[in-house]
Amino acid sequence: MQKQALISVSDKSNLLEFATFLVNQGYKILSTGGTYKHLQENGIEVTEVKDVTGFPEILDGRVKSLHPAIHGGIMARRSDENHMATIAEHGINPIDIVIVNLYPFFEKMNTGLSEAEMIEFIDIGGPSMLRSSAKNFYDVTVITDVNDYQKVMDEITENGATSIETRKLCAGKVFNLTAAYDAAISSYILGDDFPQFLESSYEKVMDLRYGENPHQKAAYYVDKTKNGAMKDFEYLQGKELSFNNIRDMDLAYKVVAEFDETTCCAVKHSTPCGVAIGETVVDAYLKAYECDPMSIFGGIIAFNKEVDGKTAVELNKIFLEIVIAPAFTEEALEIFKAKKNVRIIKVNNPVSDKVTYVKVDGGLIVQSTDNQFSSDLKVVTEVQPTEKQMTDLVFAQKIVKWVKSNAIVVATNGQAYGIGGGQTNRIWAAQQAIERAKENVQDELVLASDAFFPFRDVVDFAAENGITAIIQPGGSIKDEDSIKACNEHGIPMVVTGMRHFMH
């Protein structure tokens, strides 16, 4: 009995070479629609599926391969005499190889198509054939990945057939693909960030150098259903990325994305160590650098504006892991070549996360992204902040949201001078931030806190060290103690009513 291969693909990469190989190996090729025409036009002998089923394609091609003559040939177990007798009785020939990839639903998401147009990219026959073939991997070779063509050709050439190990591997890839494909469709139709079953549709785009530590393996996956700043970025120069690199890139770029003004953020060990607004990109960088010249060494630098040559010259003066921005001038890229290991990353998409995930042992915590700031700012003290103080308070608040709790940011003139975070109590974070800031500037400093003050100790310490205004969420049962302390010291306090913990 002649061996058969069914081919129905949207990605026709390397297809002609593979189909020609199969024909030369004695396979009869079955195909549908555009694939059939493509093979026929290129001189490959091919039989249309409708000539096997005895039934034409109907409903604008929605129904063509969903037929017992196809699925019977795929699903029949070759070692089962009853199965083989049944398909013989109905004139069905076994199908030994199935090569299918799916309608490009992934690729059409986020392209502005209407719902009616998107629905037409939901593949039905393709996943059905793939799942049938994968279930019967003891007898059927199913291929969804064009990178597997060569392996299959090599094994058939050497052994006359594929190995069970290869068939099983290919079957596993099928269920991996269809799970992600169905998850993408579910996400699109439901539009729910918290569905009953948490679907996942991520594709590996690179193996990473290592995880948090060199002995840990890691890989980077991107969301197939949504765009985002860390998706489709351009790798313009430098070494391979590590787990920590990508996590820090993400944080640094999210900080600068908070601002319309030209802004630079330096990140080290997953926390900001310098943030500043500048008249120019180089000005913003030099101000961010001033916050903590020691920590910025070996860090990640992000900008929300194009990096020019003058800035590149300054950046090249120290060791940096990554420079990330929405654009780079040709002059800047040429200058960066002098530091061939520094990674230059161009971001092509805006920050757009709607939910965040935290993996715990045996579970996953999902929450909406902290992408809001309070618009209901209330001055709760007798002294009112000046216009300049209010501007600096809002600036500091936008940064403190991205610092590990407990978090304090001290700033003035659109420049962070002290950042204290990750402390187990708030007074330690305040001491760290204020003492760091006072090394560089003494006057007009303001302070932002990510959460309320459970005691007046932060206010007292701030006042003793020259802090001129405070912004904090409020909400403590001892709010009045902090307000009273501010009034005693003559410091204006603004309450936002919105906490920004980041654990």
The Cα 242–Cα 218 span in angstroms is 8
Sign of the torsion angle spanned by Cα atoms 449, 453, 458, 462: positive
Q: Tokens for 434?
A: 């204020």
| Rounded Cα–Cα distance for residues 25 and 362 (Å) | 48
The catalytic residue among 12, 108, 135, 151 is: 135
- How far is the CA of 119 from the CAs of 104, 115, 144, 189, 455, in angstroms? 11, 6, 22, 9, 57
9's enclosing H/E stretch is: none
Look up 135 and say whether it is catalytic.
yes
Which of these is catalytic: 108, 151, 173, 269? 269
Structure token pair of residue 459? 């206010």
Q: Name the strands in the sheet holding 408-412, side by side, starting at the edge strand that comes first in the sequence.
A: 234-237, 343-346, 322-325, 300-303, 263-268, 271-277, 415-420, 408-412, 446-449, 469-472, 493-495, 378-379
Question: What is the C-alpha separation between 384 and 487, in angstroms, rounded?
Answer: 11
Rounded to whole angstroms, the Cα distance separating 202 from 226 reads: 10
Q: Could you give the count of Cα atoms lying within 13 Å of 23 in the half-sphere of its Cβ?
A: 16
Rounded Cα gap, residues 139 and 3, in angstroms: 12
Q: Cα–Cα distance between 260 and 228 in angstroms, integer?
A: 18
Residues 428, 434: Cα–Cα separation, whole Å: 10
d(CA 316, CA 472): 37
Q: Which three-class secondary structure state does DSSP give residue 266?
A: strand
Bridge-based pairing of strands 469-472 and 446-449 is: parallel
Cα–Cα dist 7/5, whole Å: 6
Q: In angstroms, rounded to a whole number, what is the distance separating the alpha carbons of residues 86 and 72? A: 9
Give the residue numbers annotated as catalytic, written as ranges.
Answer: 135, 269
